[in-house]
A and B are shown apart, each in its own frame.
Chain A
Amino acid sequence: MYDIAVIGAGIIGTSVARELSRYSLRIALIEKDNDVANGTTKANSGIIHAGYDAKPGSNKAKYNALGNPMFDELCEELAVPFKRIGSLVIALESYDMEKVEELYNRGLANGIPEMRILGRSEVRKMEPNLNDEVVGALHAPTAGIIDPWELAIALAENATENGVELLLNHRVTAIEKLTDGFDIRTSASGIEARYVINCAGVYADEINNMAAAPYFQITPRRGQYFVLDKNTGSLVNSVVFQCPGKMGKGVLLTSSVHGNLLIGPDSEVLDDKDNVETAAHRLLLIKEAAARTATGIPFNTMIKTFAGLRASPSTRDFIIEESKETAGFINVAGIESPGLTAAPAIAEEVVRLLKATAGKLKKSDDFNPLRRKVIRFMELKDHERVELVRKNPVYGRVICRCENVTEGEIVDVINRKAGATTVNGIKRRVRPGMGRCQGGFCAPKVMEILARELGRDMQEIVNEGKESYILSGTTKGEQDYEGK
């Protein structure tokens, strides 16, 4: 029997699991997919919001304000790149300035520090590539950017290093309340746990309904993006939002932590909880909207489009509470934006809720908050490179020629805890295939390394999900042509 079962290994589930791993508890982190961060956590803007958007008094406002300042230490401990580049909400018409002021006042009510309203010339000085029409802006220097899946992967790794058991390929299908705890049925095996924490993203309503009566609904709300080639991110120096309007929060322009320009999202309510297709007419609208922020966006260097699903709750606010009906069952649901930002603060809240229902928790003596950094060969100095290859020659072979990723880096992320088992899993951890050629050249080599390190056949290696096979058989080779 586990003490705790955390359902869902997105940014919320991994944050909760890692926070709980500070205590002497037996914890299962249960995920339906074959890797962590495969849901909404891999497809969002990656912004650590300053916190002026949400309505004062809401959970969103509270946990955004609490979460944001936690990122410096968290990212330091987990060796994840994080940059506080600040954000601007720009006014394109003079009447937009009212909205800017409203956001400023909201920010004050939410306790957001260091905000300022800027005039045209100051904005132009900070962001020379924006269109001339910009009238002014709200500046919030505490906003930042992060690679969201990198953080979730790091949290999962650190949690498992501290004893959490990560159960991939376990889709929860039913939950039964026992006298003491829960019986959780999954697509793989049955799991018993005293407490359940529901962090299932867009499926959190369905998980709740397995254990308690329905009392909220999650609607998927899709947002689409463009990603441009690396080095395009320097078009802007901060995260640049348009004033919220008809298109939702407003299309934004930002650099990713790796220097790619990210443009999006829009907002569209769907009924399919797995539909992350991109659509031409939507992308066109985003392109047009973005042109109002800056005309010089080099769309010809685009390397990818993608879409993510916001888990919009019928209650319109984050649901972070123990089920009133089913004791020991905690919902962390409806975590739409700013869920990434709020994640570390939400994780602390979950621990408080758990203590409230379970009583005192015993701290673990050997919790280690630090994660070993993933070495990136190209970021090293000359003498470090020489040293590294001398010690470990696999760092001497370049696999991805767009991003110059070495075999050593790939082997490292396969062999870590919560390591990669798929081509996309490798891509998200060390970026081969994230460049111009999108994996055209390196995919076969990445597959070979995966097969070798995992002791599997090449044909078993999948791209992402279980059914996403890459090879369909072997060639006739020397066989007789008539033979088959």
Chain B
Amino acid sequence: MKENSIVNRYDVVVIGGGPAGLAAAIEAKKHGAKSVCVIERDKELGGILQQCIHNGFGLHIFKEDLTGPEYAERFIIELMESGITCKLDTMVLDISEDLDLQILNTYDGFMHIKAEAIVLAMGCRERTREAVNIPGTRPAGVFTAGTAQRFLNMEGYLVGKKIMMLGTGDIGLIMARRLTLEGAEVRAVLARRGYPGGLMRNVAQCLHDYDIPLMLRHTIVKIIGKERIEGVLVARTDEERKPIPGSEELYECDTLLLSLGLIPENELSKGAGVKLDPATGGPVVNESMETSVKGIFACGNVVHVHDLVDYVTDESRRAGKSAAYFVRKKLKENGLLIKTEPGKGIKYIVPHLIRVDNLNKSLQLFMRVREVYPNSRLIVKADNEVIKKSRKMHMTPGEMDNIRIDPKILQQRKPAILSVQVKREEE
């Protein structure tokens, strides 16, 4: 059945050439994978970073304040020098459980690739679900913030002059500022909840500094306009985030931007039978970033949406190294297995499973809280025993939290479950 297509083999195939894929590929090569191939569907490497021309990247890893493309450049250079194959403008159409990939581009055509290990690094896409539910008309002038960002930053086009924004994801916040600088009027930014979804830093620097009104507890209940959008009907929302009848007010606009957050891009993962966590939308992974399918690893936004690229890089280095170890049969598969469990106030924890024998330095758990918690503690329990408490001044679902655990404690106590919960200071 495959006799007509060229079959190629690699030790490690990395899907996606964003910061996650780049770091994973470099690290896999460093740790002994003989042949590594990165497959990227765009014409260039760098992923979402290429359209983030603002600063704020690399504060942890390089102790420098870089723009997205500058951050990506450092990895791209290293990748180019390390003898890794790169297939750009190439789409992975399908992966199977036995690590066979179907790929497509204009220069190799359609072909199958066989990998010893795969690293999923496909990133995420923007949510549109909430917007799809808005009744009314379906005119031109409704964009996701990321699409608008692409038009402005990469192609040099404006998308409108009088702008309403639904949602407070980071891309949206950054675009509100960008559009204002381009001379557009951003009339208001609406959040259904009582707090913004993006980073506080972005709310301050992108909205407050430019006097853009942030309307918390508001949503759009109707889109108006036949050909191009002409306005939206805005309503206040109640405690359950439902619109309050009678509170509707008309806002005229020629553009609606949607910034409803991001969701991991896992169509390919599903095809390979990778188990997903409904709380993250990404694969269930262990300490080595391996998914439920043997030999398939995952890292970056495909696992859970990150706010800081530095964490993506850390996590992806681990995934790349583990993939190389897997190929070299150095990854320990047995031994003590611990499950992590989100406790009260925690939405999810990554990783989901921990094979203690593969830990060397400290174990870092990443998580998001369910609501805003001022002045609280994160409490870590090994089974029922508290093993760590960490004080947090301010936690919000818009910002990822993390906590480090000493592997020795786990080796000594051998718990079945490691859980994290939030406790308010006054409790």
Residues of A within 8 A of B (CB): 274, 276-280, 283, 300, 302-306, 377-378, 382-383, 385-390, 393-394, 396-398, 401-402, 404, 406, 436-438, 440-441, 443-444, 458-459, 462-477, 484
Enumerate chain A residues within 8 angstroms of B152, measured Cβ to Cβ. 475
CA distance A471 to B161 in the complex (A): 10
A444 CB contact (under 8 Å) in B1, B91, B155, B227: B155
Within 8 Å of chain A (Cβ to Cβ): is B35? no
| Given known A390-B109, A396-B109, A401-B41, contact A438–B4 (CB-CB < 8 A) | no
- The contact of A278 among B128, B135, B144, B255, by CB within 8 Å, is B135
- Cβ of A440 and Cβ of B156 under 8 Å apart? no
- In Å, the complex CA distance between A450 and B151 comes to 16
Provide a sorted-by-A list of 13 A–B residue pairs whose CB atoms are within 8 angstroms: A274-B226, A280-B222, A283-B135, A302-B129, A302-B132, A383-B5, A385-B110, A389-B106, A441-B146, A465-B227, A467-B226, A472-B161, A475-B157
With A302-B132, A305-B135, A386-B111 known as contacts, the answer to whether A476 contacts B182 (CB < 8 A) is yes
Is B158 in the interface zone, CB < 8 Å from A?
yes
In the complex, the answer to whether B104 meets A474 with C-beta atoms within 8 Å is no
Q: Does B126 contact A (CB under 8 A)?
A: yes
- For A394, list chain B residues within 8 Å (CB): 106
B interface residue count range (under 10 / 10 to 19 / 20 to 34 / 35 or more): 35 or more
Chain B residues within 8 Å of A383, by CB: 3-5
| A459-B183 contact given A383-B4, A389-B109, A396-B104, CB 8 Å threshold | no
Q: How far is the CA of A437 from the CA of B124 in the complex (A)?
A: 12
Tell me the chain B residues, 125-181 only, with Cβ under 8 Å from chain A.
125-126, 128-129, 132-133, 135-141, 143-144, 146-147, 150-152, 155-161
Q: Is the CB of B158 within 8 A of A475?
A: yes
Name the residue of chain B whose CB is nearest to the CB of A404.
B93
CA distance A303 to B134 in the complex (A): 11
B89 within 8 A of A: yes
**Does B38 reach chain A (CB closer than 8 Å)?**
no
Report if B62 contacts A (CB, 8 A): no
Q: Give the complex CA separation of A466 and B1 in angstroms.
A: 48
Judge if B371 is at the interface, Cβ distance under 8 Å.
no
B221 contacts the other chain (CB 8 A): yes
Contact yes or no, B125 A471, CB < 8 A: no
Decide if B5 touches A396 in the complex (CB within 8 Å). Answer: no
Complex Cα spacing A388 to B110, Å: 9
Question: Contacts A278-B135, A396-B107, A464-B140; is A473 near B228 (CB within 8 Å)?
Answer: no
Other-chain residue from B4, B128, B137, B156 in contact with A277 (beta carbon distance below 8 A): B137
B2 on interface, CB distance cutoff 8 Å: yes
B254 at the interface (CB under 8 A from A): yes
Q: Which residues from 1 to 29 on chain B have a C-beta closer than 8 Å to any C-beta of chain A?
A: 1-5
Q: Which residues on B sit within 8 Å (CB–CB) of A476? A: 182-183
Report A305 CB to chain B, min CB distance, Å: 6
Q: A389–B6 Cα gap in the complex (Å)? A: 13
Q: Which of A283, A385, A396, A471 contacts B159 (CB 8 A)?
A: A471
User: What are the residues of chain B within 8 A of A437 when measuring CB–CB?
Assistant: 125-126, 128, 144
Known contacts A278-B135, A386-B5: does B147 contact A441 (CB below 8 Å)? Answer: yes
